[in-house]
Amino acid sequence: MAYNFEWGVLWTGENGRWLLQGIWTTLRLSALSWVFACALGVLAGALRTLPFRSLRALAACYVEFFRNVPLLVWLFFWYFGAPQALPRTAQDWLNLHGPEFWSAVVALSVYHGARMAEVIRAGIRSVPGALLEAALASGLSVGQAYRFVLIPVTLRLIIPPATNEALSLLKNSSLALTIGVAELTFMTRQIETYTGKAFEALTAGTLIYLILCLGVTSVMAQVERYVRIPGLIARVGTAEP
């Protein structure tokens, strides 16, 4: 029997609202997690390049601990395990503000923060050493040299690998459905359950993820062109002579 395609199920009844709600939750979850992941990545990545052994060891422990455990395990840990160890007031706050959503934010943030730390570390190592020497010779402390010189230059250098991490985080946010976060994949599965139209629902989810990822790639490419440093960062799509 030939399959009867019914694309109209995607926007009839509650289905269209569910899709929009799923897109919004995915974007909010990904954006919040990306901000925290970048902050953790910059901090840990910078610490791993400092001339202080104890700080390097601390950052290395964070990176190796969080990036070498599957993300799904972290989602379960932060949702089922960690809240039990929190004070009663913190548990009450989570229960009022959505423990599923915030557990997913924490899990994605610490996991991708550890991965971003390695991107930041590689970016700092790729900056010419003379730049740090000049900053120190001008009277800046090590901390000031990192804050005002190395980190700003590094953030411009690492846009391509950082884009890859942003795309991975966006796609990995789909795992949040396992702890009940009503993001895009959760909603497409819900539409499939209520309509029995798995092909249409999952095709819509696939295309929406594709559009979101292409949008992120396009925006980051524009940012890369805007912040490039002539002579240090190659123009996007071309090679420096």
Residue ranges of the domains in the chain?
A: 14-227
CATH architecture of 14-227: Orthogonal Bundle (1.10)
Q: What is the pLDDT of residue 132?
A: 84
Q: What is the pLDDT of residue 232?
A: 62
Please tell me whether the overall predicted TM-score, pTM, comes out greater than 0.75 for this model. yes
> Of 104, 220, 207, whose CA–CA distance to 161 is shortest?
220
Position 18, amino acid: W
Q: Which ranges constitute the DSSP H helices of the chain?
A: 15-47, 53-67, 71-76, 88-97, 99-126, 129-137, 142-145, 151-157, 159-172, 184-195, 198-227
Q: What is the pLDDT of residue 231?
A: 65
pLDDT one-digit tens code per residue, 162-183: 999 999 999 999 999 999 999 9
Q: For each of the chain's 241 residues, which pLDDT tens digit applies?
A: 577 778 888 888 888 999 999 999 999 999 999 999 999 999 999 999 988 899 999 999 999 999 999 999 999 999 998 888 888 888 888 888 889 999 999 999 999 999 999 999 999 998 888 888 888 888 888 888 888 989 999 999 899 999 999 999 999 999 999 999 999 999 999 999 988 888 999 999 999 999 999 999 999 999 988 888 776 654 444 444 4
Q: What is the pLDDT of residue 142?
A: 86
Give the dihedral sign, CA 36/37/40/43.
negative
